[in-house]
Amino acid sequence: MPVDKAITIIGRNEIYVNAGEALEAMQAMWSEVGLNTQIRMFDTGNWLRYQNRPFPEPDMANLHQDQHDNLLGDATFTAFNKYHSEGVNSAVYDKHVDDLIAKAEPATGESRTKAFQEAFKILHDDIVADIYMYHMIGYTRVNPRLDWRPSLATNSEIDLSEIRFRASE
């Protein structure tokens, strides 16, 4: 059954290689199941207007092309910014999720883990805050002449000020 209301896909130029082509492929697949979508590609500055509150068109039905990693490996960064009612990227307004995030953030150990797990279960199963289309993997290669070692925290960002050349042998 066709959906009459257009769903706008907010894309970002060069967010990753072939970003526009990826959205066009998704748009074609969604049209095959009856969704009416239109793509709007932006440079980073304009894309951020749709990514960060206050949203310029708050009532517009939309999907966002996004990529997210958590360099620190802690759920707080993702949970608050993307899913708390006061999070800068959040379009989710759920008191129970807010309460779970507030409970989890200062907690430690098993109680922290359980509160975040419960919040993410609600976000995934009930609210469906995100639709994951695929998982990108980052690769880093290092020349033996460099004195630098990649880690999980450097998957998407490399601080050039931390890289040094090894002394010649």
Residue 161, domain member (yes or no): no
pLDDT tens digits, 65-94: 988 777 667 888 889 999 999 999 998 999
153 token code pair: 């925290």
For residue 75, tell me if it sits in a domain.
Answer: no
**Is the pLDDT at 150 greater than 60, yes or no?**
yes
> In this structure, are residues 61 and 142 in contact, taking their beta carbons and an 8 Å threshold?
no
CATH of the domain at 32: 3.40.50
Judge whether residue 1 has pLDDT over 60.
Answer: no
pLDDT in the model for residue 124: 95
State how many domains the chain has.
1
CB distance 48 to 60 below 8 Å: no
Inside any domain, residue 27: yes
* pLDDT at residue 47 is higher than 70: yes
pLDDT band at 109 (very low <50, low <70, confident <90, very high): very high
Beta bridge partners of 147: 164
- C-alpha closest to that of 115 among 123, 104, 126: 104
- Cα of first residue to Cα of last residue in the chain, in angstroms, is 69
pLDDT, residue 131, reads: 85
Where does 37-108 have alpha helices with state H? 44-51, 75-83, 95-104
Bridge pairing between strands 7-12 and 37-42: parallel
Alpha-carbon gap, residue 43 to 123, rounded angstroms? 29
pTM, rounded to two decimals:
0.75
Quote the pLDDT of residue 60: 83
Rounded Cα gap, residues 65 and 86, in angstroms: 21
* pLDDT confidence of residue 83: 95
CB neighbours of residue 104 within 10 Å: 23
Asked if residue 95 is part of any domain, the answer here is no
Parent domain of 23: 1-67
- Residue 131 inside a domain? The answer is no
Distance CA 31, CA 100 (A): 37
Q: What percent of the chain has pLDDT over 70?
A: 92
In a domain, 36, yes or no: yes
Is position 22 within any domain?
A: yes
Name the 3-class secondary structure at 91: coil
Average pLDDT of the segment spanning 30-46: 93
pLDDT of 55 over the 60 cut: yes
Whether 162 has a pLDDT exceeding 90, the answer reads no
Task: Report the DSSP pairing between strands 146-147 and 7-12.
Answer: unpaired
Calculate mean pLDDT across residues 34-38: 91
18, part of any domain: yes
Amino acid at 25: A
**Cα maximum dimension of the chain:** 69
